Structure formats: C-alpha cells, structure tokens
A and B are shown apart, each in its own frame.
Chain A
Amino acid sequence: MKQYDVIIIGGGVTGSAIARELSRYRLKVALLEKEIELAFGVSKSNSGIIHPGTQNPPGSLKAKLCVEGNKLIRQVAKELGVDFKEVGELVVVFSEEDIPKLHELKKEAELIGVEGVEVVDRDWLKKNEPNLSDEVVAALYAPTAGIISPYRLVYDLSENAARNGVRIHTDTKVLGITAEKGKNFIIKTTRGEFFAKFVINAAGLYADEVSSMVGISDFKIKPRKGEEFLLDKKRQYITNHLIFPLPTKVSKGVLIIKTSDGNPMIGPTAEDVDDKEDRSTTEDGFKKVVTFVKRMVGAIDENDVIAYFAGLRPVAGDDFIIRHEDKVPGFVNVAGIQSPGLTAAPAIALMVVDILGKNGLALRKKWFFRRHRKKTEHLFALPFSETLKLIKKDPSYGDIVCRCEMVSAKEVREAIKRGARTMDGVKFRTRAQAGRCHGSFCTTRIMRILSEETGVPLTEITKRGKCSCIVKKDRRDG
C-alpha cells in the first residue's frame, strides 16, 4: 500500500522546495506530478529572478516570504550546487516627476526589511549601467536581486529530496481526493491510489481544482499569460543589472532580465487568459515588449531574439494563499504562487512545515540529512582549463552535441540519468537545443542518446510527453 505521512501534489518549485524541506524529518513523503517531468508547468517559464522583495506591499505574504526567500536561497543554492548570481536590480523612471515614486518604493522596501536599497541618479547609472538610454533619469537600486536557473533549481531540489527519501511520482495525475475523517486522505490518481495523513496542494494552475476535490472552493486560479523573448548569448553583457520599469497594478512590467544561462531575456507581457494551457505567443506581445525595452536600453535589437515562449502565472487574488484548511484537517493549500514565488519557495517550504507541525504532524529530524548535492557540470559555464580537467576524467565531455550552447554528450547522458525523459527535459537541464539554431543540428543526436539511455524507440521520443512525439515513423521498420 502506498501509505505516506505527507503527499505533495505538484512538482514545480513550490512542491520541490517543500519536498526537500520535509526530507529533513523522519517522515514518509511523496510528491505527485501530472506531467512526465518535474518543472513542466508554471516553473518552466519562470524568469529566474530572485527578487529582493521590493514592489510587494508591506504586510503581504508575498513581501515577507520574498525577503526571507531571498536570504534562504543563497544557502540552498550553495548546498545544491545551483549557480546563483547576485546581479542587483534597477527600477528605472523616465521623468523627474516619477522620482518620488522611487522614494516611496524605497520606503516600502525598507519597511519589509530589504537591505541596501538606494535611489541612484544619472551619473551613477552612466557609470554602472552604460547601455541605459538617456531617457532614464533615475533608478531604485536593489543590490540583493539575483538570478538562478528556475528549472535547475526544481530538478536539484527534487533530486536532493529524493536522495533523502522522498518518493517522486511523475506522470501521476490526481483525479480525486477523499478525506476519511480523522484518518487518511485517499488520493486517486492515474497511477493508482495513494494514502496520506497530510496533503499539500501545490498544484499551480490547477490548485483550485485540487482544492475543490476536498470541498474548499473559495478561490479560483486565473492564468495570467506572460510572453518572454530570449536574446542571443552574444548579448550577455547588454546590461549589468536586471532592469525594471515602475511596477503597475497587474505586474512588475516588462523587464530586461539577465539569466543564469547567459542569454538576456526581455518580457514578460501580462494578459489574463481563460485557458490554463494557452501558452501561445503573439505578434502583438513581441512588438509591445521590444518597443518597451528599447526605451530603457536602445541597443536591444529585435534581430537578436532567438527564441520565445509564453508561461502562465497562477493568480489567486493579490497575495499567496498558504494555509491549513481547518474544515479539512490535514489539508494545506499553497496556491496562487505567482511572482515572487521562485524567490519565496524556500521560505514557503519552511512556512508549510511549520503549519504541518502546528496541525499535528510529528516533526523529528533525521539524524543524518544529506544537504549537499554534487554540482552538475555545464561546459558553457566553465573556463577551458576546467573543461580540460573534465575531459581528462571522461572523454565524452569532449564530444560536443549542441554547438550553439556547447553541450557535450556526457552532459546529455547525465541529464537523462538524473531524470530527463524528453527533449524539453534535456533542454531545460543542459541547454542543448536552446541556442540560436534551435536544435536544427543536435535534435537527431539527442534523440539517439535518449533512446539509448532509456530504451525507448526513436518514434516514441517526445518533446514534452503525452502525444508530443518528434517523428511519426521509422522508415527502417518498412
């Protein structure tokens, strides 16, 4: 029988961070994810920004957890071997009239405990962010903002959680939940029934539907679409900081984002949509974003855009919903985790563990918790001297599969050994296919390696699971 103390529904960054936090304790924990791989829902389209905490109203969960998360993520990143870079952010204004708004933001930020924020003038900007357009008159500088790879954070959190005993079930969609009074939750899934004393709903876009399964229907998740556009890695140093405009009611605005893979990114748009699977991009979104960011940094050229995608933010009102449902003892909702959810994730995890403890879960620390994880190597992030050492250890580090992003066969095989099952899974973990040629040259090789490593025939290799097969037929089968 699949009996657990805690079951987490949802394998995005929230669910994975909670899973890892729970794996410190003597508990039987499982994580259920409906997609074929983790991070394939909301998290895969995350910008990868670790926010300092500015731009969140004081008193909100978002503000509190964002500031805490910003501090916690550094330790988490170090322990897991995920690259975190503190690059700092600038909230820029185009007119003198808006400078008081920066001072207001600064005051709010200080109130919630963001450190080091200051309003900087033209001279400071000229020196520290020379590509910024002359139209920018001042900015709020928040030095503690940083960048991280959102998918690698999810994969590494969950890998570490699994190493500490958490069972991870992908391709396992929750169909229904029954609460047996005072005993157990019975979770019906596409892969049979699971039983747990506590259930954590971290189902992202579908958190409202999962919550409804136990009769709690007082919130709705409204998808808010964001289109993002990636620039060529050649433009890595187009800015030194994350560049924000003044925030609006619905979003933090269209940004110039540094990413931990090197490619700058521009976006996102913010558009409320009805369909939870609508990840389509539009020509309008592209024009809007390019026009907007060019006002901040004129050197951005739309010809440098090599890729784009859309993601959906799971919006449930203005703030996060993180609470134990007293009407359904043992059920914890962690919903509406949109921005700054990635930053807040480690703090959310702590808060959830605390909630579980207060509601009857016995929290006894394991005598040994494997907090460290061996860093995954990426050639693109290494100087040649380090690459040479790796090649000496394993010759297949010298066997390049993806030429645009310099990804070796060894990295692809490692990614598969660590859980990649699809072309997108390999891409998110290694960056192979994510460069300027968009997989034109490496797709066939990666398909072969996936097939070799997993035993799945080439015709069944998918882009992202389900019916997303890359090819229809093997001609050699006749």
Chain B
Amino acid sequence: MVERELVIVGGGPAGMAAAVSAYERGVKDILLLERDQYLGGILNQCIHTGFGLGYFKEVLTGPEYAERFIEKVKSIPAIEVSLKSFAVAMTSEKVVTYLHPGKLDTVKGKAVIMATGCREKTREMIHVPGTRPAGIFSAGLAQKLINIEGLLPGNEVVVVGSGDIGLIMARRFVLEGASVKAVVEIQKTSKGLVRNIVQCIEDFGIPMYYNHKISRIYGVDRVEKVSVVRVDDNYNELPGTGFEIKCDTILISAGLIPENELVEMAGVRMDKKTNSPVSDKLNETSIPGIFVCGNSCKVYDIVDSVTRDSVIAGKMAAEYIGSL
C-alpha cells in the first residue's frame, strides 16, 4: 500500500485551500482526490457573482474563485491531484480506498483531511406529500442542468424553501426566460443571505410566501400544480388558507447536509442531527489525524469562510504530521 504524508478527499474550495495551506506549513507529499474530471467542486456551477469579497477583496464568479486556487494547486508539484478518483471507503487507520477508471487503489495517509462538501435535503426529507412526477429537482441539480449542461428544466417554477441556492436559481430561471411563480418558505424568515433576497427575489418581483408550505404535489407524468397553505408558528396548516399554483417544475431548497459517510465509516463520532463530526474544536474529529473541513465540517453561508477555516485545517494537519 502506498503511504503519503497527507491525503485530502475533495477538490473543491475546502480541499484546495487545505492542500495549499498544509504545503505552506511544510507538508511536502500531498495526494488530493477529486471525483469529478476537474477541480473546483460546486463552485464550477455557481456562475453568479458575489464570491471572494472577504478573501480576495474583489467580486468574483464561482469559477473565477475556483480558478485562483486551481492555479495555485497546479503550481505546487508536492500536491498530486488525482481526478475522477472516487473515495469509497476509509478506516480509522486512515486508509482510503478509491476507484478510478481502470483502477482501485488504497492509500494510507499520516493525516487525512476530508473536504467532501455537502448534499441538499430532498423532497422526502422535508415531507412534501403527493405524487412523484418528473419535474422535481434539488436547486443544485437545476443549477447544474442550466449552468453546466445548458438544459432548461422547466418553464413554470415554484421554489420550496428559501436557501441561497434556491434564491439564486429563482433569478436564474427568470433570466433564462422561465416564470418563477413563487418561493414558499415554511419559516417566518429566510435562511438565505439578505443580498440574495433583495437581488434575486425582490428585484425580480417574485412572490415570496413566508409561513407557507407546499401541502401537496400533483401530476402523474410531469408536475402539474402544487397546493400551498399557510402555517402557524408550529408549522400546523391553517384551515381555509389553501390555494393552488400551476407549475411544471419544483425546486427544493430546504437546506444542506454535510456529506460525512466516509468519516462515519472510519468510526468518527457523529452528531446524528447535523451529520457532522462531534468535536470541541473546528475541523477536528474524535480520531486524531482525521480532519474534516469546509461544508462537510459545518454548512457555511459563503465560500470565503470555507477557505478561511480550511486553511486552518491544513495547518492543523501539518502540525499533526510534524508531531508524529
């Protein structure tokens, strides 16, 4: 089995920042595994602006923000990037198994940093009853379809939840010529950034329904309509407040869940509620030498904070390796 000083899983902003930071603190043998065919992670599909204000003091798009780190990573020979490399298992001994077209490899790191990001809550997790037609997407999938694949998922859209991706996608759909009928948020306020509420929803005159929820999805083949109802502070439906909205597409934007199945597999102690490692200290886990950073550690609002804290993860890993 190959042994490396540091193995990093995930080549998005967190993994790249951690790699560069660890290198700058003396780690000279780093393997960075990325499942996609390019580095950058989800930033690649975030073609809107607003990235980098904190970290670079300029306004960048997602791909531009990613590019700065990609160039940095590529300029450092001590960081070996392995693309299309899909980690499938990890042990408490820091042995990572990964698949790659044509090979299955295992690698043991003196330290491991998991920067595996997060996934979106699904329609099932927020319990939206009704049928299961085509036309129900997580906001991030809709973003990928439009921005990466050049495909328009639908023409009449209702957004469920008001997470940032949902808000940004509401605007994106309008810009692509679709009609966004409503954003339906069960809470009193949005979890999204104020700038996104203003720039993506208010500026485009998209109706925003707070204290409302989708009580049912209709449609056999494709989404046909949804029924919406007002709820009280305990999310109970208020009788007589229901109405219907005709639409062919539903976006779910109801929050993110850290993706930590590999660290869980390794035996790291997990907080079941948040799906992140239990730890007193940022980026640390219950297993010394296994670190978690970025959105897999906790869900951040902006990428600049991901970078900031992942730099710390790189430093922590370097110190850990130095202490061995």
Residues of A participating in the B interface, judged by any CB pair closer than 8 Å: 234, 277, 279-283, 286, 301, 303, 305-309, 384, 387-388, 391, 395-396, 398-400, 403, 406, 408, 423, 436-441, 443-444, 447, 458-459, 462-476
Contact = CB atoms under 8 A, between A and B. Distances in A.
Contact of B35 (A395, A403, A408, A464): A403
A437 B152 contact: no
Contact of A440 (B104, B140, B152, B176): B140
Given A400-B99, A474-B151, A308 B124 contact: yes
Interface of B: 35, 84, 86, 88-89, 97, 99-104, 119-120, 122-125, 127, 129-134, 138, 140-141, 144-146, 148-155, 176, 216-217, 220-222, 248, 261, 264, 272-273
Contacts of B155: 472
A444 B84 CA distance: 16
B119 A234 contact: no
Contact of B222 (A391, A441, A469): A469
A462 B134 contact: yes
Contact of B120 (A408, A437, A468): A437
Contacts of B99: 387, 391, 398-400, 408
B144 A403 contact: no
Interface centre among B84, B123, B130, B151 (most CB of A within 10 A): B151
Contacts of A387: 99, 104
A444 B176 CA distance: 19
A263 B145 CA distance: 28
Nearest to A307: B124
Contacts of B100: 398
Contacts of A468: 133-134, 221-222
A280 B130 contact: yes
Given A303-B125, A440-B138, A464-B134, 14 more contacts: A279-B132, A301-B272, A398-B104, A423-B134, A437-B120, A437-B138, A441-B119, A444-B148, A459-B151, A464-B221, A467-B221, A468-B133, A471-B152, A471-B153
A283 B129 contact: yes
Given A403-B35, A475-B146, A476-B150, A283 B127 contact: yes
B119 A400 contact: no
A436 B125 CA distance: 10
A391 B150 contact: no
B153 A305 contact: no
Contact of B88 (A406, A438, A444, A447): A406
A475 B124 contact: no
Nearest to A467: B221
Contacts of A301: 272
A63 B56 CA distance: 72
A444 B149 contact: yes
Nearest to B147: A475
B134 A443 contact: no
Contacts of A475: 146, 150-152, 176
Contact of B97 (A280, A283, A384, A400): A384
Nearest to A442: B141
Contacts, number: 134
A279 B217 CA distance: 11
B130 A277 contact: no
A404 to B, nearest CB: 8
Contacts of A403: 35, 86
A308 B321 CA distance: 45
A459 B149 CA distance: 11
Nearest to A408: B99
Contact of B141 (A234, A305, A439, A472): A439
B119 A472 contact: no
Q: Which 4 A-B pairs have CB atoms at the shortest separation, nearest pair first?
A: A395-B102, A463-B134, A468-B134, A468-B221
A469 B134 CA distance: 7
19 contacts: A279-B131, A282-B129, A303-B273, A305-B125, A387-B104, A396-B101, A398-B99, A398-B101, A399-B101, A400-B86, A403-B86, A408-B99, A439-B141, A441-B119, A443-B145, A444-B145, A466-B221, A470-B153, A475-B151
Contacts of B104: 384, 387-388, 391, 398
Contacts of A471: 145, 151-154
Contact of B101 (A283, A395, A406, A463): A395
A387 to B, nearest CB: 6
Contact of A234 (B123, B130, B149, B264): B264
A458 B120 contact: no
A437 B129 contact: no
A406 B119 CA distance: 16
Contacts of B216: 280
Nearest to B273: A303
Contacts of A466: 221
A438 B144 contact: no
Contacts of A281: 129-130, 132
A440 B141 contact: yes
Nearest to A400: B86
B181 to A, nearest CB: 15
Contacts of B264: 234
A15 B43 CA distance: 49
Contacts of B132: 279, 281, 309
A301 B104 CA distance: 34
A280 B131 contact: yes
A240 B217 CA distance: 36
Nearest to B132: A309
B232 to A, nearest CB: 16
B122 A438 contact: yes
B102 A391 contact: yes
A440 B102 CA distance: 25
Contacts of B88: 384, 400, 406
A407 to B, nearest CB: 11
B152 A472 contact: yes
A303 B124 CA distance: 10
A439 B120 CA distance: 10
B138 A438 contact: yes
Contacts of A308: 124
A472 B178 CA distance: 10
Contacts of A303: 125, 272-273
A400 B35 contact: yes
B134 A470 contact: yes
A36 B138 CA distance: 26
Contact of A443 (B35, B86, B101, B141): B141
Nearest to B131: A280
Given A283-B129, A387-B104, A458-B151, A438 B134 contact: no
B127 A286 contact: yes
B88 to A, nearest CB: 6
A391 B103 CA distance: 6
Nearest to A438: B122
A81 B134 CA distance: 32
B290 to A, nearest CB: 18
Contacts of B133: 463, 468
Contacts of B102: 391, 395, 398
A436 B121 CA distance: 9
A444 B221 contact: no
A57 B237 CA distance: 44
